[in-house]
Amino acid sequence: MRLTRMITLWLAGAAVVLPVTACSSDDPAAGQAPQAATAAAVPSEEPEEVNAHPFTGKPYDKLKPVLAVKIENTAAGKPQLGLKSADIVYVEQVEAGLTRLMAIFSSKLPAKVGPVRSARISDLHIAPQFGKPAFSYSGAQTKMLPFIAEASLFDVGDTRTPGAYFRQPGRVAPYNLFANTKELLAGAPKASKAKDVGFTFGDAPAEGGTERKSFTVRWPAARFTFTWSEAKKQWMIAQDGKKDMAAEGGQLSAPTIVVQYTKTERSEFHDVNDSYTPLVHTTGKGSAVVLRDGKAFNAKWERKSEESGTTFTTASGEPMNFAPGQVWVALASRKPVIP
């Protein structure tokens, strides 16, 4: 969406006096009116369009390539590095009822990111709405590799772009694999640039919001709580009763949290413990709760195809605007899947 702002352009008007030709005196020639100075230009107000980034609603100079990174989300892998710079963060259910993150970067790029973890089938269904992003991950089940090869993405995983990855001292494997983001994007020179993915940004709906101090979302073995900070104008993020801290410092937070209720079912994949991998369906229609400005808004979501973006509307069908800034999308199920 594009936001417009008004700026006043003051044009300096210079008074120009034209010389008068006289015959023998300072009086004007017969039949000729005295020359007057031209009027100064009148200040005018003209709108100047400001480009709003399709992922954050914030101003930008130019659109940049999209990088998607799978990031660990259990206590063993925290604190995570780079999430503060993400435009969008998806929370996905994985095996055993736990969650993993997929962070989308474009407007800002942290130098390093991690811990980088393995891909899941749901990632391949989320990615196409971004075109063909660069996709960073640390391996996948052998059975899933052909699906990754055919997916709408550029593979910059640790086996394809090994030079971009490194082991972070002080961390225990497999939670110590991190990546240099510039080297990841160098491995995908044709990665799609950011484009419209259905989000709209602007003022909150005048009606329909319910004041909320906090909102909790549950998965079978994970729990997120988002608590509103009036001072910071952000939803402060906590997981399983503990503040979600960033490796860069401070607590993770975002001005907009989207709880997108989806159909979640077993996929054909499973881990070494024979726990099935959930498949999160992000196409179709469903309900959502959008948290912004200390309020919770009931909303609806729709994504017509995997190449399409996801639109969010109010109960009355108007666009459900997000607050400018980072967006977290929690892909939740009203009926949790039993692992």
Residue that is written with structure tokens 């195809």 in the block: 305
Give the residue-averaged pLDDT of 256-261. Answer: 97
Give the amino acid at 152: S
Could you tell me which CATH number the domain at 67-332 has? 3.50.90.10
pTM, two decimal places: 0.84
| Per-residue confidence (pLDDT) for residue 5, from 0 to 100 | 36
Confidence of residue 294 (pLDDT cuts 50, 70, 90): very high
Instruction: Output the six-digit token pair for 123.
Output: 């990632």
Q: Give the count of beta carbons closer than 10 Å to the beta carbon of residue 181.
A: 22
What lies within 8 Å, CB to CB, of 248 at 6+ separation is 81, 84
Burial of 315 (0-12, 13-18, 19+ CB in 10 A): middle
pLDDT in the model for residue 224: 97
- pLDDT category at 9 given cuts 50, 70, 90 is very low
The domain locations on the chain are 67-332
Rounded CA-CA distance 196/183 in Å is 25
Tokens of residue 66, six digits: 């999209």
Q: Which sign, positive or negative, has the C-alpha torsion 55, 60, 65, 69?
A: negative
Categorize the per-residue pLDDT at 267 as very low, low, confident or very high, splitting at 50, 70 and 90.
Answer: confident
Contact (Cβ atoms closer than 8 angstroms) between residue 330 and residue 91? yes
pLDDT given at position 315: 86
- At 25, the pLDDT band (50, 70, 90 cuts) reads very low
pLDDT tops 90 at residue 6: no
